[in-house]
């Protein structure tokens, strides 16, 4: 049996809600064969990130090479890349292997507050990863850091999205989970030609651990299956919204989204 294949390059979340674990669960739910390159191991739960242990750069390189040597990759999703050294190795391998469909989720800080990204790696992220992005998926604080501008209004978000496309991303979605107010969450998509806003009622829940990872990996799974970028985002948005609507009371802090909710919809 043939199956679409997606690779996540990200950090491990021991709590299971974000990072590699969220990505692989999402791939599986969307009938895509998932592979992983682990950049860092976090000791993390729904309340805090207790520690971060980066995987040695050679280890990251060898994982990438092992996959490239043997398995065709239809789409890649990147998450926690941690620092400049790892970013350079990863960007180089993506180019060398000719992996063309790349979802870049520029993970910087966990919901629970701890940094998952070294600030001095920002210029490497901008120089090496942004131009590889079929789609870049920052939340509002990440878009502010990447564009070095304050984002308050919807127009600010549109301007930032345009700026990120000018910086080399083929398309961008600025996610609205962190927007200050409103009964609806609004994600702003821009592909260099036109804007589209994805608007959904805000789900009243604190169980939002891993929303960004899950959304980005759903988009990657859809791209792996050959869908065009707009359809991949539209269906990814439906997947993450359902996962948040049915989010799980696991742990004592910010619980995870429900990756399996999509499968049970309508049943």
Ligand X SMILES: Cc1ncc(COP(=O)(O)OP(=O)(O)O)c(N)n1
Ligand Y SMILES: Nc1ncnc2c1ncn2[C@@H]1O[C@H](COP(=O)(O)OP(=O)(O)O)[C@@H](O)[C@H]1O
Report the catalytic residues: 175, 208, 210-213
Q: Is 200 in the site for ligand Y (CB under 6 A)?
A: yes
Q: In whole angstroms, how close is the CB of 210 to ligand X at the nearest point?
A: 4
Could you tell me how many residues of this chain bind ligand X (CB under 6 A)?
20
Q: In whole angstroms, how close is the CB of 177 to ligand X at the nearest point?
A: 7
Q: Which stretch binds ligand X (CB under 6 A): 65-73, 81-89, 165-173, 211-219?
A: 211-219
Distance of CA 126 to the CA centre of its chain: 16
Locate 162 and state its tokens. Answer: 């345009």
Q: Which stretch binds ligand Y (CB under 6 A): 88-96, 151-159, 175-183, 224-232?
A: 175-183
Q: In whole angstroms, how close is the CB of 153 to ligand X at the nearest point?
A: 23
Tell me which of ligand X, ligand Y, none is bound by residue 19, counting a contact when its beta carbon lies within the kind-specific cut-off of 5 to 8 angstroms: ligand X
Go through 72-86 and write b for each residue having 16 or more CB atoms within 10 A of its CB, e for each that does not.
ebbbbbbbbbbbbbb
Q: Site map for ligand Y, 14-43, x if CB under 6 A? A: ------------------------------
SS3 content of the chain, % helix, strand, coil (to 5): 40, 20, 35
Locate 206 and state its tokens. Answer: 């604190």
- Pairing type for strands 195-201 and 184-190 reads antiparallel
Could you tell me how many residues of this chain bind ligand Y (CB under 6 A)?
19
Locate 167 and state its tokens. Answer: 């910086």
Please report, as residue ranges, which positions from 106 to 135 form the binding site for ligand Y (by CB under 6 A): none
Q: Is 100 in the site for ligand Y (CB under 6 A)?
A: no
Q: Is 140 in the site for ligand X (CB under 6 A)?
A: no
48-53 CB contacts, 8 Å cutoff, 24+ apart? 48/112, 48/113, 48/114, 48/253, 49/110, 49/112, 49/113, 49/114, 49/116, 52/11, 52/82, 52/114, 52/116
Q: Is 234 in the site for ligand Y (CB under 6 A)?
A: no
Identify whether the C-beta of residue 187 lies closer than 8 Å to the C-beta of residue 198.
Answer: yes
Distance of CA 19 to the CA centre of its chain: 8
CA-CA distances (angstroms) from residue 82 to 88, 232, 243?
A: 11, 26, 26
Residue where the block lists tokens 């600025």: 174
Q: Is 80 in the site for ligand X (CB under 6 A)?
A: yes
Please identify which residue in 21, 26, 46, 211 interacts with ligand Y, judged by CB under 6 A: 211
Identify whether the C-beta of residue 109 lies closer than 8 Å to the C-beta of residue 209.
Answer: no
Q: Is 130 in the site for ligand X (CB under 6 A)?
A: no
Handedness of CA 58, 128, 142, 177 (dihedral sign): negative
Closest to ligand X by CB, 110 or 133: 110
Q: Is 257 in the site for ligand X (CB under 6 A)?
A: no
Please report, as residue ranges, which positions from 3 to 22 form the binding site for ligand X (by CB under 6 A): 10-13, 18-19
Q: Contact positions toward ligand X, by CB under 6 A?
A: 10-13, 18-19, 42, 44, 79-80, 107, 110-111, 116, 208-213
Q: Contact positions toward ligand Y, by CB under 6 A?
A: 139, 175-178, 185, 187, 200, 202-203, 205, 208, 211-212, 215, 237, 240-241, 244
């Amino acid at each position: 049996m043939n199956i679409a294949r997606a690779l996540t390059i990200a950090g491990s979340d021991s709590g299971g809600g974000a990072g590699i674990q969220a990505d692989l669960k999402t791939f599986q739910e969307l009938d895509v064969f998932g592979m992983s390159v682990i950049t860092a191991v976090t000791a993390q739960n729904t309340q805090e990130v207790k520690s971060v242990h980066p995987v040695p750069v050679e280890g990251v390189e060898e994982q990438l090479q092992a996959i490239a040597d043997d398995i065709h990759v239809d789409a890649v999703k990147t998450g926690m890349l941690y620092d400049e050294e790892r970013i350079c190795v990863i960007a180089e391998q993506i180019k060398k292997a000719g992996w063309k469909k790349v979802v870049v989720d520029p993970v910087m800080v966990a919901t629970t507050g701890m940094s998952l990204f070294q600030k001095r790696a920002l210029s490497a992220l901008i120089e090496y990863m942004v131009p590889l992005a079929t789609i870049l998926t920052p939340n509002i604080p990440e878009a502010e850091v990447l564009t070095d501008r304050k984002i308050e209004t919807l127009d600010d978000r549109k301007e930032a999205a345009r700026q990120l496309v000018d910086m080399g991303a083929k398309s961008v979605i600025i996610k609205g989970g962190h927007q200050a107010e409103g009964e609806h969450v609004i994600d702003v998509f821009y592909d260099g030609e036109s804007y589209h806003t994805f608007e959904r009622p805000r789900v009243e829940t604190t169980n939002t651990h891993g929303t960004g990872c899950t959304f980005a990996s759903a988009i990657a799974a859809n791209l792996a299956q050959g869908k065009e970028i707009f359809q991949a985002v539209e269906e990814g948005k439906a997947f993450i919204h359902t996962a948040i609507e049915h989010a799980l009371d696991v742990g004592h802090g910010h619980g995870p989204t429900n990756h399996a909710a999509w499968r049970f919809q309508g049943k």
